[in-house]
Amino acid sequence: MTDLEARVSELVSQMTLEEKVAQMAGNTPLQGEYGVELWNVPGVERLGVPPFKMSDGPRGVGVGTGRTAFPVAMARAASWNPELERRVGEAMGAELAAIGGNVLLAPAMNNLRHPSWGRSQETYGEDVHLLARMGVAAVQGIQTHVLANPKHFAANSIEDTRFEVNVTVDERSLREIYLAHFRSAVLEGGAASIMSAYNSVNGQFCGENITLLRRILKEEWGFDGFVLSDFVFGTHPDSARNGLDIEMPFPVEFASLLDQVESGALPEEVVDESVTRMVRKKLEYRLDEPPSVDESVIESDEHLAIAREAVTEGAVLLKNVDAALPIDRDSLSRIAVVGALADAVNIGDTGSSSVRPSFVVTPIEGIRDALGESVAIEHIDSDMLDAADLSSLATADAVVVVTGLTEEDEGEAIIGAGDRVDLDLPQEREQLIVDAASVNDRVIVVLEGGGAITMQDWLADPEAVLMVWYPGQMGGHAIADLLFGDLSPSGKLPFTVPKSLDQLPPFDNVSLEVEYGYFHGYRYLDRRGFTPEFPFGFGLGYTSFAVSDLRVSRSQAGAGETVTFSVDVENTGPVAGGEVVQLYVSYPDSEVERAERELKGFAKVVLEPGERRTVRIDIPIDSLAYYDSDRSEWILEALEYMVHGGTSSRDLPLSVTLSVDSEAIAR
Ligand code: BGC
């Protein structure tokens, strides 16, 4: 036993049953205004065991005001830059530590099974590998200062029925598509805690799901941290027994724990195990010591700079014809900025992930700041254009239409808008784009939102479309950085943008029984042979890149090994910019049903014009395994695997083979 474990068990042995049970539930009263103070979970003062003090969430510290509002997680996923996400996590963790918190209720890492999910913006997209890379980075960053809490475990991808819906999912899909990234967050990221989900999986609520919590998370993965319930409705009669350690934010089911133990209905060992897990993390993370940062880190210049960088790295240029972007400031005399969102604070939904910064730079403010006095800026603060507006737009050098979705269109259920029923923009916003484009041939759409937006009715009209997500408090400045070419966009879509809803699997947020299968997102479209509007991994910039010469460190490998792939990338265009080299694996001759191709590695590189670099990407061979539910093992097939390289899931000009000679059990 290590010294730490010995100290933990000594402390737990000194606690009374009452003291132990009290640590298994929050004791924070529900606030009138949602989430205005840190959620508290008591420790044991007489033994020097500190409480947990928790706050949401995925886009910054939700408690209080004046915290840095980062762009939403989906925006950061689109950066395909885990190193940046690590810094974002570290900044959030520091801000929480500075106000006395020690558990950040983030990252949200549910797989975006369908873009209608109201909380799309809080997660990292539709692909397990990207989810894992960003989730691990967030966890590691956050845990420089406080404990992270990956959520919502598991298969939580519908909002409107989230408290009741039962997700039926076969074992292989569950393992490969809905759990694999959580496994990475635990095993690689070292997540100290996990939040269970509200919904049921295979007939048992996640908050009392013995398969998920005990067998898989705690026993199989060896997770040594603690699990808390999702709030208020996430705990059930068998929760404690089946592996849930803390009921949040106050005891309801767990109010009877003391009686249950005293009457012999619940073994005291169950309580001891939960408390051991919590005390272990309290000691490991030295939660009894004062934080190493003070309040000066909150909304500091450094954090605001990271927030701004996250917007420019994650913005995805979807369309750019006739050199509409970037706009050369020097050749402008009059620019029009149009739309009700141009001067709106639109930084994400009103649910638990809300952050209240002390200021927000709106797009028009950012544009004004970047252009100064030399350019006339016409601001039409409306989604409806009248005849006078149109004739004035007709003579502008460029028209920037700021539009998209808001907290009224998507968000967390009950405290926010919930799921989306269709993926179009609201009708008047589509009309705004079409109208502007009917009078001016340099219309640039700056699009805000947290998930896929279908664009069939208007995409042909404007010259450029730049997806900026919910860009956080520095959004306006970052948008201006991109519009005027100070930086080139380098984001890539973390999900597929379909042409229409019928290119996607069904989304049912009414029934209380739904079934999830193996295929969604690009895997689903690839399988059906559908051509999306924009494929997973797609994004343009102001320069061009050539990728060539995909090679592999060895052409043969086995379980447990890691193979390094190299690709040459050259910036063949006029300005500096970033490109994301993506590697997808396909499985010709596999004995089992596989996706046509799957992302297994990527790397982002920033190059000056004319610069050429060799990018190296590691793929652990075990990540090519599938889950065999009969054997309950990850099986690495003996196959000639094909590895495809390029710059989106549908632009993969390079390929190389990698062979695994004998079948093996992978980990
Ligand atoms: C959400 C969680 C959140 C919690 C506390 C729940 O409703 O699902 O994501 O962390 O509230 O605000």
Report pLDDT digits (tens) over 433-471.
999 999 999 999 999 999 999 999 999 999 999 999 999
Distance CA 520, CA 526 (A): 10
Helix (H, G, I), strand (E, B) or coil at 41: strand
- Helices (H) then strands (E): counts for the chain: 17, 26
Residues designated as active site? 230
Q: Backbone phi, then psi, for 224, in 5-degree steps?
A: -110, 10
Quote the ligand 1 centre to 255 CA distance (angstroms): 20
d(CA 322, CA 43): 63
Q: Catalogue the E-assigned strands of 422-533.
A: 443-448, 464-467, 513-516
Neighbours of 135 (CB within 10 A): 32
* Closest ligand 1 atom, residue 162 Cα: 8
Per the rule left: phi > 0, alpha: psi between -120 and 50, beta: everything else, 472 is left
Residue 548 one-letter amino acid: S
Give kind and range of the element (H or E) at residue 605: strand 598-607
CA of 388 to the centre of ligand 1 (A): 47
266: CA distance to ligand 1 center in Å? 28
Based on the number of CB atoms within 10 Å of its own CB, is 187 exposed (0-12), middle (13-18) or buried (19 or more)? middle
Regarding the beta carbon of 137 and ligand 1, being less than 6 Å apart is answered no
Ligand 1 pocket residue status of 122, Cβ below 6 Å: no
With a cut of 70, list the residues of the chain below it in pLDDT: 30-36
Report pLDDT for 385: 98
Task: Give the residue whose CA is nearest to atom 11 of ligand 1.
Answer: 231
Are residues 601 and 613 in contact, defined by beta-carbon separation less than 8 angstroms? no
Ligand 1 geometric centre to CA of 234 (Å): 10
Q: Is the beta carbon of 206 within 6 A of some atom in ligand 1?
A: no
| Residue 538 pLDDT | 98
Tokens representing 538 are 């797609």
pLDDT at 30: 66
Which 8-state DSSP code applies to residue 474?
Answer: T
Two tokens, residue 433: 């784009």
- Give the position, in ligand 1's atom list, of the atom nearest the Cα of 156: 8
Quickly list DSSP for 102-130. Answer: -EE---B----S-TT-TTGGGS--S-HHH
End-to-end CA distance of the chain: 26
Q: Residue 435 and residue 458: Cα distance in Å, rounded?
A: 10
pLDDT of amino acid 415: 87
Q: Please tell me the predicted confidence (pLDDT) of residue 33.
A: 47
E strand or H helix at 95 = helix 82-98
**Relative to the CA of 122, which ligand 1 atom is closest?**
9
Ligand 1 atom closest to Cα of residue 352:
12
DSSP state of 180: H
Structure tokens belonging to residue 280: 């272990």
Q: Give which of 637, 559, 654 is closest to 601, Cα–Cα.
A: 654
